[in-house]
Amino acid sequence: MAERANPLAARNDALILGIDPGLRVTGYGLIAQSGNAIEAIDYGCFAINPRLPLSERLASLFGALQDVIARHAPSEVAIEQPFVAANAHSALAIGEARAVAVLAAGLAGLPVQQYSPAEVKRAVTGYGRGPKEQVQEMVRLQLGLRDLPEPFDAADALAVALCHLSRKRSRALIERSVAQ
């Protein structure tokens, strides 16, 4: 998605960067919230050459994330935690990419929240095991996008940002009700 000037982004209550980390492809999605309005500001993927040595792949990802953070100045970062399955090697690689994302956000002084894949799917689709196509369609609907956000990694990153916004709104409601 091409980045665009947006009056909503200029007066946002929150500008959230969602990240779906990976060592081959990392998705990112930036959403702005102003009042009850939510809009996608920018999203896409960083494709990282799997033939590069690990240190170069991590450095490339770090630089790409720093660029997005510098360009958009998000107020918060939400990152999807790795799904630990039978393949320990894949889980480790995703964990390394996640650590780079946390580092990039931390060095920028941004608060970071992390969410499990099931939590993200539940927040966006109402079901913690929905297929990627369902997540993609629900992200499109919730953000009022004309087309499906592609690829899946970008849609997943937008879903992570939406999950964070949903959790943030829930916490605010609870805090208000307790304060009364």
For 132-153, the pLDDT digits (tens) are 899 999 999 999 999 999 999 9
Active site residues: 20, 80, 153
From the list 124, 68, 158, the residue with the least C-alpha distance to 149 is 158
* Helices 117-125, 132-143: inter-axial angle, 10-degree rounding: 50
Could you tell me which CATH number the domain at 7-179 has?
A: 3.30.420.10
Positions in the chain whose pLDDT score sits under 70: 1-12, 83-86
Hey, what are 105's tokens?
A: 């956000």
Q: Which tokens is 168 given? A: 């943030």
Single pTM value for the model: 0.89
Write a three-state SS string for 15-69.
Answer: EEEEEECCCCEEEEEEEEEECCEEEEEEEEEEECCCCCCHHHHHHHHHHHHHHHH
Q: How large a percentage of the chain has pLDDT more than 90?
A: 71
Q: Where are the domains of the chain?
A: 7-179
